[in-house]
Amino acid sequence: MQIEELKLKNFRNYRELTLCPHPGVNLFFGRNGSGKTNLLEAIHYCSLGRSHRVTNDINVVKNNESFALSSVSILNSLGHRKIDVRFHPDEVQKKAILIDDKKIARFSDMMGCLCCVIFSPEDLGLIKEGPSQRRRYLDMMISQISRPYFVALQQYRTGMEQRNAMIRNYRATGTGNMSLLSAFEETMASPAAVIIKERRRIVGMLSDIARDTYQRISDTDEVFRLVYHSSVKEETNIEEILCRLFRENREDDIRMGFTSVGPHRDDLILTLNKNQMKQFASQGQIRTAALSMKLSQMKILKDLSGEDPVLLLDDVMSELDRKRRASLIGEISSYQTFITCADRNDVDCDKVQAVWQVRASDGEASVEQIQN
Ligand SMILES: Nc1ncnc2c1ncn2[C@@H]1O[C@H](COP(=O)(O)OP(=O)(O)OP(=O)(O)O)[C@@H](O)[C@H]1O
């Protein structure tokens, strides 16, 4: 899969941009705040219909403008496709996603059209922060290859919101309809089982690939492992077990005001040489582990979808030593890649097929291809 053209209108500090990237490695360099990350964000917007760094889309609309548009033309094994994502803050239906100029009805219809993986400085949080970042990582990865998973996530969230509303109401009033609560729990259990089974399967694959990738990038024999830690330990009858857990935890949940068991509380345990990374790992080890997770995600997406995902690397090179940088470039050379950095000398330009300079003047960004 490759992006043949990226077009932006009023997206962040881009008034208008048309860019035809190289199918290999593209390097974008420019001063801090010039608009490099905004480009990667725009690509991500066309992949998952949302920004990788903000939850409120209003931020992507250029200041004092009424809408933002990010559009990509892609080539995959099925041929050419165009994906447009428009955001109009003042319209009733604020976001419109069009595939080949036809508006899609559901977000799930865009999943997998443009598969991309982004690695940005915030991704160190995959190792350092709490479980929600790791669950998000799994959810974004699996949603790109499995529509049933994406749908199960939405159904589970809706069911949980209804259950949470009911238990809060119970807490406030001291009374509630138990058979209705039980019905909500049953509707949550089925998508929850889909989520748990699929996460287990993917993490099993991920752990082996990430261990090897870590060793290649770091040139060490340190053993990096990922294990899915779920509130359901059993391999079978997950649905029934979850219904039982929801029931058994009702009293506690009513007291706390939220649902305390289920896949929304699960985690990925990350270890290096059997030590929990969060407590023991150095900065360099954390960076290498997070990168290995993202590169393994690329491989899994490729193996399961049959398409090469597009790789977006935001500002990673300057933090890696020379050897790790070279290994990283070796790992990514088969993918269409967008790398951003402040100093073009951070990347060995022999390995880069197109070099682009990003400049901003009077708050407006522009991109120019320069001689490699
Ligand atoms: N909605 C918006 N409208 C106009 N300009 C915006 C908007 N959102 C962000 N910007 C501008 O975009 C610039 C930041 O762009 P970006 O995050 O892509 O920088 P960068 O080149 O990646 O920088 P760094 O090297 O520091 O990471 C800032 O100058 C900011 O003011």
Lowest mean pLDDT among 37-46, 79-88, 176-185: 176-185
Does residue 52's CB lie within 6 angstroms of at least one atom of ligand 1? no
Domains of the chain, first to last: 1-115+307-372 (3.40.50.300), 124-305 (1.20.1050.90)
Ligand 1 touching residue 62 (CB < 6 A): yes
Phi, psi of 332 (to 5 degrees): -100, -5
SS3 of 115, please? coil
Q: Quick one: which atom of ligand 1 is closest to the CA of 59?
A: 1
Q: Is ipTM strictly over 0.90?
A: yes
Using DSSP, state whether 333 is helix, strand or coil: coil
CA dihedral sign, ordered 247, 248, 249, 255:
positive
> Long-range contacts of range 303-307, CB-CB < 8 Å, 24 or more positions apart?
303/205, 304/145, 305/112, 305/115, 305/144, 305/145, 306/77, 307/1, 307/76, 307/77, 307/115
Quick: pLDDT tens for 309-347: 999 999 888 778 888 888 888 888 889 999 999 988 888
User: CA neighbours within 13 Å on the CB side: how many for 237?
Assistant: 6
Q: How many whole angstroms from 33 Cα to the centroid of ligand 1?
A: 5
Average pLDDT (120-127) is 90
Report whether residue 337 contacts ligand 1, using a CB cutoff of 6 Å. no
Residue 204 neighbours by CB distance under 10 Å: 12
H or E element, residue 180: helix 178-218
Q: How far is the CA of 368 from the centre of ligand 1 (A)?
A: 17
Chain segment 219-254, per-residue pLDDT in tens: 999 999 999 999 899 888 999 999 999 999 999 999
| Residue 372 confidence (pLDDT) | 67
Number of the ligand 1 atom closest to the C-alpha atom of 40:
18
Distance CA 218, CA 220 (A): 5
